[in-house]
Amino acid sequence: MLRHGRLNRVTIVEDHALFAEALELALSLQGLEVRRVDTEAEGLTQNRLLTEVLRSQPGVVLLDLQLGPGLSAVPLIRPLSQVGVAVVVVTGSVDRSGWGESLFNGARTVLPKSTPLSTILATIRLIGEGRRVLTREDRERLVDDFHRHRIEEEDRRARLATLTTREREILAELMDGRHVREIAQAYVVSEATVRTQVKSILSKLGVSSQLAAVGLALRGSRDTTPARREG
């Protein structure tokens, strides 16, 4: 339940200026007190962004998940929720595991950007009335998707971590679309040597083809992405 007097106070955190301006205007015309946080400010960090949001003392925050390079909105959800702010994610992302992560961290619901304004307004009103805005079944299903994705990601990272430095370099070459002959020439080794290394990569990753190995690596997290050979 929102604190008394805060229901009409809505803060928008969105890096798509046109969408944010349209949403701000539409909500303002409905009598809501709307503030938009500048996500393009120079040197903006997640901590500064959180401070700016809290400074507006919102009852509801409409939060986009994708705020541009190097700035994720997900870490904002839990601290906002913990101080009684109702976070409604409004996003263009169709990643169900990302939706589930938002809900797991305390978001009340997740709405696509294609959601009609009337639905957004209804969501804000239901929150103010202390009513559920997402069925328990849908919430549990999305959170399960998030947990499943996290387990799969941890498994991919563990498999990638078993590769030697040279195997990671070879995998990076495969990711760049190079053939065994090209890789052998670049490393001044025989094609047989490269094929042996590729075979070891496939075995350690538990896949049966170079294409599958590349796919697994591309789905891996940043810190496990195979490093490119220098020089």
Q: Please, what's the b/e burial string for 119-131 (b: 16 or more CB within 10 A of its CB; e: otherwise)?
A: ebeebbebbbeee
Hey, what CATH class is 162-224 in?
mainly alpha
Average pLDDT in the chain: 88
Identify the CATH assignment for 9-145 out of 3.40.50.2300, 3.40.190.10, 3.40.140.10, 3.40.50.150.
Answer: 3.40.50.2300
Domain with CATH 1.10.10.10 in the chain: 162-224
CA–CA distance from 202 to each of 21, 151, 154, 197, 199 (Å)? 50, 21, 18, 9, 5
The pLDDT value given to residue 33: 92
Residues of the chain with CATH 3.40.50.2300: 9-145
Structure tokens, 27: 């909500």
Model confidence over 104-118: pLDDT tens digits? Answer: 999 999 999 999 989
Residue pair 136/127 in contact by the 8 Å Cβ criterion: no
Stretch (H or E) spanning 91: strand 86-91
Residue recorded with tokens 């190995």: 213
Per-residue pLDDT, 220: 61
Angle, CA of 50, 125 and 68, to the nearest 5°:
30
Scan for tokens 């619901």, then name that residue.
109
* pTM higher than 0.85: no
Q: Which pLDDT belongs to residue 223?
A: 40
With a cut of 50, list the residues of the chain below it in pLDDT: 1-4, 221-225, 231
